[in-house]
Structure 1
């Protein structure tokens, strides 16, 4: 099968999956299914399938004795089979994105972290000066309730050397370095801010409680504390959009020192600025589209309401015409039956009453105004004519 062809979901029985996880390493088998080793382990846990522990295949390869755990009888709620769906392959980067990535990494090649910081970058020089001034004020103040400013550690001096190399490299390529407080920094690209953090990784360890701690606590004779590992972490605090697929964290290990990661970090910084600009422009365009869609929706809503109101006006005029027709028929019948038009009824004669009614009909009956009069009145109706 072509490697580029997407894998299809595979349905496998519980006992068959058990057999296969003991025949080849989890990572290799997971790759065949198109998922991660951790994903395969979770599937095995869900089906209550035991799998080889860490170091099993190395011991077996070395000829050492290994133990294969047997498959226990499933519980009533344990599935007898599972369908494994491969993890979708991320789409390839667009050619222009690939070109930008290559250009950024080319600019970041050959960056070297100095072994000694002789002429620190202006930002770092400001940190050093501020730290020195705080120490001087501490010596003068001698406040026993305020902890003294600690000296820079070897790890912090190393961070300064690493940041010095990063700051100088990005400034050569159009980014500005800013600092708002001691040891904090961010980068500016056009109108965008790139927030980063360089810190030492800590780990939780157990240590015995002191005699004082044992006096005020019960239970275990140990406590968990954070202890520095000596390994550094560089991380971005901003989201760059899923299309950029930019790395957001670098963790130092015992096999790969942080100094070797600096070129990749610098290249990512050079890509992060344009990515943030594009993300902002995309969001603004999306906002503009939403606002335009809302504007058109409101226009259409007003148009439909205006149509309903104009129809309502036409119906009202039809009802007035119908009423006027009934009154006109009534007047005609009265005129036929009236024997003496001069007879007084109230303060008017019968002829005057009939004349008054006919004059009122002329004002009320819309037909008397003609087609242009009727539709002229309707044309003045808006979506706000009727409030109910």
Structure 2
């Protein structure tokens, strides 16, 4: 059964029986969430803080730990949470397939398991909330095609794609959306290199390709949080950093909507970013609360008026219900939209009350 679900000042409307069934427990007691992050680099710090803020607003407690990119440590950390008998696990998987070991342990302990930002692969969980990463890749791809068409009169040229960890579904989707767009234009050559979400590796890739290619027209980053600052530095060192509109400009696009990317757009050296609704991944707490109250998660459209990520959708999948929040293509015309997560974060750091991302 599909229906539109409207969020905001009204209660969540729930219908259907899709997904994992209700969780035991008393929602009136303090809820303790065990949260496992892969690290606090790039956008991950904002993801964690958004979850903490939303949970604390409900009177809940969030325990946090980071794995530093070590998939086995993440499993060990989650097992520790299970031993503490937390009410629910929320994780950003280091390894989308490897996390299933922890999922199995949680299911045996009858503790619900959720992920945000990244989905598991090969096991079903209670729910995942993430950006529509395929859409994000499409948005960046479309921006690059438009630039190359304007530059050459037809879609042609050479593009470098710096990927994330291709063992994770996030990188697979960001690459998939991007490459599906570029594949429609056979005169565009795409050079794909795996950066593995590593800043230093990204720097080496850009240095190598920019130094050896006669003409490099554009660069697509799977994460502008991770790769953009290093890319700008390398291009400057190679005397290849030309501002937008000038001869020799290399079009730079990516996914995240990071502070570095938005500042780069303002400065004229970055051109596009597919903004993730980072703070709004914390909407997972609403669904945890629903299940604690004995409600089920329904497939269908999710609408919140004024939210950049709306309309979103909940899809059934072999890994459980997935809520895909829409990304927003950011360029010079909308870079100062105060709902973008980097602008929300900047306002908070400056002590200025900013409009929430949702």
Q: How high is the TM-score relative to the length of structure 1?
A: 0.23
Q: How high is the TM-score relative to the length of structure 2?
A: 0.24
Compare the two structures and name the one with the higher helix fraction. 1
| Larger-gyration structure (1/2) | 1
